[in-house]
Structures are given as C-alpha cells and as structure tokens.
C-alpha cells in the first residue's frame, strides 16, 4: 500500500478528490440552505452567495442602494429554502436597465444600471454587476483531475 502513494501525483489526486467532495457537499447543502456573505464598504456592496444555481458574486455601487457605513461592515445571512422554484439570478426590478446579461450552461453574468432622466441627459444612480458559476463546473473537473492523478500508472524508472 505504501508503494501506491509513492510520488506526488496520487497524493495530489487524493487532495483533489477531497476538494471535489467538499464542493459536492456544498452543492447538496445549497439545495436546502442559501448562504450569503456581504461586505459593505465606501466603494460599494459586495455579496458572495451559495445558491441552488451555484456560487454567485454581486457588486452594487451607487447612491441610495445601501446605508453608508462608518468604515466597513461584514455580515453573514443564512436562508432556508422551501420551494424548488428559487431563482437566484432574477431579472432586475423596475427602473433597472440591462447593460449586458449572459446565460450559458448555468454560467451567468450581467450588469444592470439604475438611471433617471431623459434620452439626452441620464443620471446614473446605481450599478449592479453579477456573476454566477454552476456547482457542476467545479465538481466535475476536480473529480476528473483527481481520477487522472490517482489512476494513472506511475512511470517506470529506467535502469541505466
């Protein structure tokens, strides 16, 4: 058994498998519980969320979108999900204009702006940018990499 773990490849493969299992556990947990870490600073509000659709990062800047902190504010929020029709990347509400919004195989990104004024004069009140990576995009590549590293036969040392 000691010969099996000789070298760095199989050890690294076991570490990658452990990380893949960790992400798989997060994936399963996210079906029932959504968690959000929010950091508010003078520059804006940054949120990192674990949702049923994947890992999401959002940045909101502009006036009137959040209370201005003294220096910084860090908060953690946990929400239990009841129904399966949860949409973590909704369309922006009234007043928000879409700058760009892409969706492909679970990957999502978008940028939305809250503006006021006429066609010639537009005032930007707020900006929201969001990015999402689906859970499978982390679990499957890590699992395949770990399988390659663990199952690949080691090179035979040449006897010279």
Cβ atoms 117, 102 nearer than 8 A: no
Question: For residue 3, how far is the Cα from the chain centroid?
Answer: 38
Share the mean pLDDT of the chain: 78
Opening angle at CA 151, ends 150 and 152, nearest 5: 100
Sequence ranges of the domains in the chain: 7-30+135-153, 33-82+91-134
- Per DSSP, what are the bridge partners of residue 34? 79
pTM surpassing 0.95?
A: no
What's the rounded Cα separation, in Å, for the pair 151 and 10?
Answer: 8
Q: What is the DSSP string of 134-146?
A: -THHHHHHHHHHH
**Residue keyed to tokens 């929020």:** 77
Task: Give tens-digit pLDDT for 77-105.
Answer: 888 877 655 555 555 555 666 676 788 88
CB of 110 within 8 A of CB of 100? Answer: yes
Span 31-82, pLDDT tens digits: 888 888 988 877 788 889 998 888 999 888 876 444 444 456 778 788 887 7
């Amino acid at each position: 058994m000691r010969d099996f773990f000789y070298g760095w490849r199989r050890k690294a493969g076991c570490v990658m498998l452990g990380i893949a299992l960790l992400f798989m556990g997060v994936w399963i947990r996210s079906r029932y519980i959504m968690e959000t870490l929010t950091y508010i600073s003078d520059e804006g509000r940054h949120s990192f969320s674990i949702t049923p659709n994947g890992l999401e990062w959002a940045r909101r800047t502009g006036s009137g979108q959040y209370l201005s902190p003294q220096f910084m504010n860090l908060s953690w929020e946990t929400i239990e999900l009841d129904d399966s029709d949860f949409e973590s990347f909704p369309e922006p509400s009234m007043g928000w204009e879409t700058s760009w919004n892409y969706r492909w195989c679970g990957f999502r990104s978008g940028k939305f702006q809250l503006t006021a004024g006429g066609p010639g004069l537009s005032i930007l009140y707020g900006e929201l940018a969001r990015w999402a990576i689906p859970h499978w995009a982390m679990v499957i590549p890590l699992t395949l990499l770990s399988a390659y590293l663990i199952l690949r036969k080691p090179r035979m040392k040449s006897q010279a």
